[in-house]
Amino acid sequence: MSVLRKDFLWGGAVAANQLEGAWNVDGKGDSVSDHCTTGSASTPKRVTVNIEPGTLYPSHEAIDFYHHYEEDIALFAEMGFKTFRTSINWTRIFPTGMESAPNEKGLEFYDRVFDCCKKHGIEPLVTISHYELPYALVDKYNGWEGRDLIEYFMNYCKAIFERYKDKVKYWLTFNEINSGTMPFGAILSTGTVKGYSGLTSEVPDRPQERFQALHHQFVASAKAVKYAHDHYPQFKMGNMICFVTSYALTCNPDDILENQEHMREMNWYCSDVQVRGEYPAYAQSIWKKHGITVKMEPGDAEILKQGTVDFYTFSYYMSNCISADKNAEDSGGNLIAGKKNPYLPASDWGWQIDPKGLRYSLNEIYDRYRIPLMVVENGLGAYDKKEADGSIQDDYRIDYLRQHIQQMIGAVEDGVDLMGYTPWGCIDLVSASTGEMAKRYGFIYVEKYDDGTGDLSRKRKKSFDWYKKVIATNGDDLS
Ligand code: BGP
Phi, then psi, of 367 in degrees rounded to 5 = -60, -40
447 is catalytic: no
Q: Ligand 1: does its nearest atom lie under 6 Å from the Cβ of 431? A: yes
Tell me how far apart the alpha carbons of residues 59 and 66 are, in angstroms, rounded to a whole number: 12
Active site residue 377: yes
CA-closest residue to ligand 1 atom 14 = 431
For residue 395, report the phi and psi dihedrals to the nearest 5 degrees. Answer: -60, -35
> Is the CB of 433 inside a 6 Å radius of any atom of ligand 1?
yes
For residues 325 and 59, which has the higher predicted lDDT (pLDDT)?
59
Among protein residues, the one with the nearest Cα to ligand 1's atom 12 is: 432
Residue 332 in this model has a pLDDT that exceeds 80: no
Look at strands 444-446 and 418-421 and give their pairing.
unpaired
CA distances from residue 105 to 68, 130, 206, 384 in whole angstroms, order as listed: 17, 20, 37, 36
Name, in order, each residue with C-beta under 8 angstroms of 295's C-beta and a sequence gap of 6 or more.
212, 215
* Atom 3 of ligand 1, nearest CA residue: 432
Which residues in 464-476 are b (16+ Cβ under 10 Å) and which e?
bebbbebbeebbe
Residue 242 Cβ < 6 Å to ligand 1: yes
Say if residue 342's pLDDT is above 70. yes
Q: Among 177, 313, 315, 436, which is best to mutate for testing ligand 1, by the most ligand atoms less than 8 A from CB?
A: 315
0.85 exceeded by the pTM?
Answer: yes
Instruction: Indicate if ligand 1 lies below 6 Å from the C-beta of 381.
Output: yes
Which of 153, 3, 9, 176 has the alpha carbon at shortest distance from 76? 9
Residue 434 CA, closest ligand 1 atom number? 15
Average of pLDDT values for 310-327?
95
Q: Over 90: is that where the pLDDT of 101 sits?
A: yes
The letter for the amino acid at 412 is: V
Question: Does 432 contact ligand 1 (Cβ within 6 A)?
Answer: yes
Q: Binning pLDDT at 50, 70 and 90, where does residue 338 land?
A: confident
Give mean pLDDT, residues 127-146: 98
Q: Atom 7 of ligand 1 has which residue's CA nearest to it?
A: 334
Q: Which amino acid is at 133?
A: L
- What is the atom index within ligand 1 of the atom nearest the CA of 240? 8
Look at residue 64 and tell me whether its pLDDT is greater than 70.
Answer: yes
Residue 287 CB coordination number (10 Å)? 16
Q: Encode pLDDT of 43-52 as tens digits.
A: 899 999 999 9
CA distances from 200 to 33, 35, 47, 135, 207 (A): 12, 11, 6, 16, 16
- Closest Cα to atom 4 of ligand 1: 432
Sign of CA dihedral 241, 242, 247, 252: negative
User: Pick the catalytic residue: 123, 145, 176, 258?
Assistant: 176
The closest alpha carbon to 338, from 321, 358, 318, belongs to 321
Q: Please measure the distance between the N-terminal and C-terminal CA atoms of the chain and give it in whole angstroms.
A: 15
Strand 373-377 to 418-421 pairing:
parallel
Q: What is the rounded distance in angstroms from the CA atom of residue 261 to the CA atom of residue 268?
A: 10
C-alpha–C-alpha distance, residues 240 and 403, integer Å:
23
Cβ-based neighbour number of residue 40 at 10 Å: 15
